[in-house]
Structure 1
C-alpha cells in the first residue's frame, strides 16, 4: 500500500515538475509525503502527509519541517554558512537534479 501511495506522489511530482512550488515548507509537501511513506509506511506516513498538507496554507508558519525518524526525532535545521548562501532550497526549482 505504501508503494502505491509513493508512486502516486511521484506521479504528482512528475506532473508538476518545472512549476514553482507553492509549498511554504522545506522539504516540499510532496517530498515530505514520499519520505514519510517510505520511513513510516502507509498508515502513519499517510496520516503525517495529510496533516502536513493541511498545515500548508497562507496563514500558517513556514520553514524547515523534516519528517521525524522512526524514533520520533527530527533532524536539526541546516545552518547556512558564509560559503553556502543557498544551502536550503526554498522551492522545488532550487533543487538541482543529480548528474
Structure 2
C-alpha cells in the first residue's frame, strides 16, 4: 500500500495545476513530506502524519516543518 500511495502522490504532482501546487506554506512541500513519512513510517502512520500536516495548512502555520525521525 505504501508504494501505491507514493505513486498516487507522484501522479498528483504531475497533474495538479501549478496554481494549487505552488501555494504550499511549508518547506518541504506537503507532497514531499507525505512521501518521506510514508517511506519512513509505513502506510498507516505515514498517512496519519501527512494528514495532520495538511490540516495545519492555514494561517498562522507555515515555514520549515521537517518529517519526524
TM-score interval for Structure 1 and Structure 2 normalised by the shorter chain: 0.7 to 0.9
Q: Which has the higher helix share?
A: 2
Q: Deviation above 4 Å: which 4+ runs of structure 1?
A: none
Q: TM-score, normalised by structure 1?
A: 0.62
Larger relative contact order (Cα-Cα within 8 Å, sequence gap ≥ 6): 2
So what's the TM-score if we normalise by structure 2?
A: 0.87
How many correspondences in the alignment? Answer: 67
Rg (Cα) greater in structure: 1
> What is the aligned-residue RMSD (CA, Å)?
1.3
Structure 2 residues not aligned, in runs of 5+: none
Specify every segment of 5 or more residues in structure 1 that has no aligned partner in the other structure, as ranges: 70-99
